[in-house]
């Protein structure tokens, strides 16, 4: 370790202490009514978040309060490991316990699609949209997290968040070419969204279906879903911290996602 490295960490600590660097919480609160992914009923379903009281200073435990909680790996704000998708199932270090920890910290590029998403809930992020964004904010660096800001996290009504009709869910996501571009041309670490999946609500009808899952995980990259507060991050310059629970052979996990961002 070099002296300058030590110095930069010390500077970070000082910046945190002085408030020059802000810690932004990008996590939705885990609660039973937190919207969850809902597949057609013939499929297996991710368990919603549930909490059962063990004791609350009562006959079950006089002086303490605690709960058991249960949920799926893909409930709430959560991390997708490559093994989550069939395309990533045989890759090395593809589970929550084997992913190199350095992948959990990286630069964040926030692409603001909130206007487009508001006008069209089925909005698909394209390569052109990304390159236009780069023209303004600079090229996406290698090993960065690309976060698609849609302000979906501000939809507190579960019905608006799910945005369901007879055709299923309507929510924005990337198109197949865009995903391939981010992997092949920009070498991103992963893709993050505010919606319930890294893919669009109607992504089952894209070719391939669920392209973000298919290509990202097939390239041993990661996903983050149900993020919030992306509007509090700069387009470039923030650092994302997103370590999932170290679940053996886990395909993902709920987690606390933080970002370090320069104070604006």
Which residues belong to the active site?
A: 84
Q: Where are the beta strands (DSSP E) in the chain?
A: 21-25, 50-58, 61-70, 78-80, 105-112, 124-125, 145-149, 164-165, 168-169, 173-174, 190-193, 222-225, 238-241, 252-254, 258-262
The DSSP bridge partners found for residue 78 are 225, 254
Which CB sits closer to other proteins, 168 or 243? 168
Least distance from C-beta 121 to other proteins, angstroms? 13
Q: For residue 78, what are the contacts with CB-CB under 8 A and spacing of at least 6?
A: 224, 225, 226, 244, 252, 253, 254, 255
Least distance from C-beta 115 to other proteins, angstroms? 24
Which CB sits closer to other proteins, 137 or 164? 164
Least distance from C-beta 179 to other proteins, angstroms? 27
Q: Which residues bind other proteins (CB under 8 A)?
A: 31-33, 35, 38, 41, 44-45, 47-48, 50-53, 158-159, 161-166
The total number of residues shown for the chain amounts to 264
Least distance from C-beta 39 to other proteins, angstroms? 12
Asked if 85 and 116 count as a contact pair (C-beta separation under 8 A), the reply is no
């Amino acid at each position: 370790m070099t002296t300058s490295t030590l110095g930069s960490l010390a500077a970070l600590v000082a910046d945190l202490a002085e408030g020059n660097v802000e810690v932004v919480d990008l996590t939705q609160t885990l609660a039973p009514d937190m919207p969850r992914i809902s597949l057609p009923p013939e499929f297996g379903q991710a368990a919603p978040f549930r909490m059962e009281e063990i004791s609350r200073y009562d006959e079950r435990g006089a002086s303490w309060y605690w709960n058991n909680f249960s949920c799926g790996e893909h409930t709430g704000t959560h991390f997708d490991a490559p093994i989550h998708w069939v395309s990533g199932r045989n890759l090395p270090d593809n589970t929550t316990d084997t992913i190199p920890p350095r992948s959990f910290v990286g630069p964040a590029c926030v692409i603001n699609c909130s206007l487009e998403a508001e006008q069209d809930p089925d909005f698909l992020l394209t390569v052109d949209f990304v390159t236009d964004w780069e023209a303004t904010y600079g090229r996406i660096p290698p090993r960065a997290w690309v976060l698609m800001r849609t302000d979906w996290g501000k939809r507190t009504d579960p019905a608006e968040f799910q945005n369901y009709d007879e055709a299923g869910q309507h929510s924005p996501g990337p198109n197949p070419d865009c995903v391939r571009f981010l992997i092949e041309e920009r070498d991103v670490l992963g893709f993050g969204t505010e919606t319930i999946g890294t893919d669009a609500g109607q992504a089952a009808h894209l070719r391939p279906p669920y392209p973000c899952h298919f290509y990202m995980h097939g390239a041993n990259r990661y996903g983050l879903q149900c993020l919030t507060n992306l509007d509090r991050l700069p387009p470039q310059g923030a650092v994302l911290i997103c370590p999932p629970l170290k679940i053996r052979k886990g395909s993902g996990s709920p987690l606390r996602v933080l970002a370090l961002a320069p104070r604006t």
